[in-house]
């Protein structure tokens, strides 16, 4: 195997970076001049921009996540542009899309959807893919996140279907058939203990759910009923261990608990409410 490959793998492993081979392959391809995909066993030094490679390898060695280095993250059926101003879309959040498609069987319905705290736009865009006649509003309180979501919506030519707004739930005066959200829900303590890669490279504003992590659920529970149509659903993500608290909080909302869904580790991660 090539010297550069060997030495890079060694450095990555020294820093305890999991999946060193996979990361190295991604970084080599990020620095790839040629049209041919690089695999570690057929690598030729002429294929890459060595300065660029050294720069991105060093970033990875200082624990920056691959997604933030290459500015890409896959979610559901798409690849999204991401940067330090948005939370990387995560696999557990795909459960929101899955549950939406189970609840609303006709993909051609012209439903109105709201995504609260859209971040990269991953949920809004994935829902636009599934419900091709839906009209979607995606909101966020972070101006920088709105720019990222806008870039993704433009890339995917979904401007007619998704309207972005830099605002909060308080300024929404319409009603929707489906509301989705992955709000910030980490407790103060969880935030302190969150891994370095998240703490340093993901935006605090997308993670911080206040002292007990439940700030946004309390806020939604007071306001959401007014912006839901009859026969509509609310689907949102919760943190580990927040199921009971969320059930208590949403008792005030006048919505009906419909079901919960679990992630691959069998943890309760998604709650569904309906307005009858
Ligand atoms: N699941 C995320 C994490 O643990 C938190 C996402 C959120 O607060 N919405 O980093």
21 and 149, same domain (yes or no): no
- Residue range 5-23, pLDDT digits in tens: 999 999 999 999 999 999 9
Does some domain include residue 212?
yes
Q: For residue 1, how far is its CA from the centre of ligand 1 (angstroms)?
A: 39
The pLDDT of 38-60, averaged and rounded, is 94
The pLDDT of 262-267, averaged and rounded, is 94
Does some domain include residue 197?
yes
Does some domain include residue 80?
yes
Does some domain include residue 97?
yes
Domain span at residue 12 reads: 3-62
- Residue range 159-189, pLDDT digits in tens: 999 999 999 999 999 999 999 999 999 999 9
160 and 269, same domain (yes or no): yes
Ligand 1 pocket mutation pick from 142, 186, 202 by most atoms within 8 angstroms of CB: 186
- Residue range 75-113, pLDDT digits in tens: 999 999 999 999 999 999 999 999 999 999 999 999 999
| Residues with C-beta less than 6 Å from any ligand 1 atom | 90, 182-186, 198, 207
Total domains in the chain come to: 2
Sign for the CA dihedral angle at 251, 208, 140, 92 comes to negative
pTM recorded for the entire structure: 0.96
What does the DSSP assignment read for 213-259? Answer: S-HHHHHHHHHGGGGEEEEEEEEEE--TT-HHHHHHHHGGGTPEEEE
- Residue range 134-157, pLDDT digits in tens: 999 999 999 999 999 999 999 999
- At 151, which CATH number? 3.40.50.150
48 and 102, same domain (yes or no): no
> What ligand 1 atom has the least distance to the C-alpha of 184?
8
259 and 136, same domain (yes or no): yes
94 and 202, same domain (yes or no): yes
Q: For residue 178, how far is its CA from the centre of ligand 1 (angstroms)?
A: 22
Does some domain include residue 68?
no
- Residue range 184-228, pLDDT digits in tens: 999 999 999 999 999 999 999 999 999 999 999 999 999 999 999
């Amino acid at each position: 195997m090539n010297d550069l490959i060997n030495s890079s793998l060694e450095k990555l492993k020294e820093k305890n970076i999991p999946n060193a081979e996979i990361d190295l392959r991604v970084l080599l391809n990020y620095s790839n001049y040629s049209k041919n995909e690089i695999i570690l066993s057929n690598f030729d030094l002429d294929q890459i921009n060595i300065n660029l490679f050294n720069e991105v390898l060093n970033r990875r060695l200082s624990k920056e996540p691959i997604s933030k280095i290459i500015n890409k993250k896959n979610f559901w059926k798409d690849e999204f542009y991401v940067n330090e101003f948005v939370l990387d879309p995560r696999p557990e959040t795909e459960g929101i899309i899955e549950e939406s498609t189970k609840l609303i069987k006709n993909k051609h319905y012209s439903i109105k959807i709201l995504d609260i705290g859209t971040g990269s736009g991953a949920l809004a865009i994935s829902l636009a893919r599934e419900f091709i006649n839906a009209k979607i509003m995606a909101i966020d309180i972070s101006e920088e996140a709105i720019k990222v979501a806008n870039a993704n919506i433009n890339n995917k030519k979904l401007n007619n279907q998704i309207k972005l707004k830099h605002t909060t739930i308080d300024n929404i005066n319409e009603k929707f058939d489906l509301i989705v959200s992955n709000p910030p829900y980490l407790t103060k303590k969880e935030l302190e203990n969150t891994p370095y890669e998240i703490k340093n490279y993901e935006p605090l504003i997308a993670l911080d759910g206040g002292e007990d992590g439940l700030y946004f659920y309390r806020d939604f529970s007071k306001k959401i009923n007014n912006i839901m149509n009859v026969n509509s659903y609310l689907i949102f993500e919760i943190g580990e261990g927040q199921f009971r608290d969320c059930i208590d909080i949403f008792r005030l909302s006048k919505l009906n608990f419909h079901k919960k869904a679990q992630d691959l580790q069998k943890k309760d991660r998604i709650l569904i409410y309906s307005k009858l």
